[in-house]
Amino acid sequence: MKKLLLSLTFICAMSFNGNAQIFSENFNSNTMPSGWTLNDADGDGKNWAVMQLKDSNGNPIPAFPTALLRSASWDATTQAPLTPNNWIFSPVINLSAYAGQTITLKWKASAVDADWDTEKYAVYVSNANTTTAMLASATKFSETLSGVNTLTQRTLDISAFAGQSSVYFAIRHYESTDQFTIEIDDIEIVSGTASNEQFFTENFNIYPNPVNDVLNITSKNNVAINTITITDLAGRVVKSEGNVSNINVSGLASGTYLIDITTDNGKASSKFIKK
């Protein structure tokens, strides 16, 4: 099992073009940054920690070359399950200069061991750094990282807090047991939104392009597709689909077309050529 090997590590202990970066933390100092606070709500003495992931030879794991934030649902020392309810709270963030703007919280998440990766976590935003305030917040994100084994970008729209001077976010690892670990890295808060084209490039691939018959669509970051629309350059809709991974375009006339993908995180747009 991979987690027995990876436990050696544990024992050892979407920039947006033209937009402002308000806050960032990459944990590269390999120590808990100033201003961050912890709450071990399950009381097991285990919590989030900053560490460098290393292989059995003591070398950094290539997919995780720098230090990051980590929480466990399995105790590498005693080789026993944990049932974490681990919280980490950010420093206070001042958004008073960004009234009326779109504000986005970004981070990367993974569960490194593909054999033991059913790790659940949530991200909350509030005006107070308490568990009660975070749980009551309407601005939140949660997922289970099954199949997400490399650092993968996630985003949360926190525009509801634009213009406010005291804002916090919290990350909670919970409702997971006897798995391995969850990793968080490269946290940012930025103002503004990505262009539709940039959002497409960051999150989707289409191929082949040019295409004869079937156009394939793949998600780079597990971003769920809601709808796919293809229009010609005159703006006429020529194809419309739900959440599919390929579209038959053999019946379209030769030329250039626009493909629009709607997601819960925004709209992605690109072009392709039909031969």
Region 227-239 average pLDDT: 90
CA atoms within 13 A on the CB side of 31: 4
In this prediction, residue 56 carries a pLDDT of 85
CA dihedral sign of residues 228, 110, 2, 181: negative
Give dist(CA 115, CA 138) in Å, integer.
33
User: Structure tokens of 244?
Assistant: 């599919």
Amino acid at residue number 197: E
Same fold, 2-191 and 196-274: no
CB 167 within 8 A of CB 95: yes
Examine the pLDDT at 12 and tell me if it is beyond 70: no
Neighbour order of strands in the sheet with 120-126: 37-40, 86-89, 168-173, 120-126, 140-144
Give dist(CA 2, CA 65) in Å, integer.
19
User: Structure tokens of 74?
Assistant: 């399995």
In the predicted model, what is the mean pLDDT of the chain? 90
CATH of domain 2-191: 2.60.120.200
The secondary structure element, H or E, covering residue 167 is none
Q: Is the pTM of this model over 0.95?
A: no
Domain boundaries, the chain: 2-191, 196-274
- Predicted confidence (pLDDT) per residue in 73-118, tens digit: 999 899 999 999 999 999 999 999 999 888 989 999 999 999 999 9
Low-confidence winner among 188-192, 224-228, 245-249, 264-268 (lowest mean pLDDT): 264-268
Architecture of domain 196-274: Sandwich (2.60)
In this prediction, residue 134 carries a pLDDT of 98
In this prediction, residue 2 carries a pLDDT of 55
The secondary structure element, H or E, covering residue 136 is helix 131-136
* Cβ-based neighbour number of residue 10 at 10 Å: 20
Q: How far is CA 76 from CA 13, 36, 56, in A?
A: 10, 25, 14
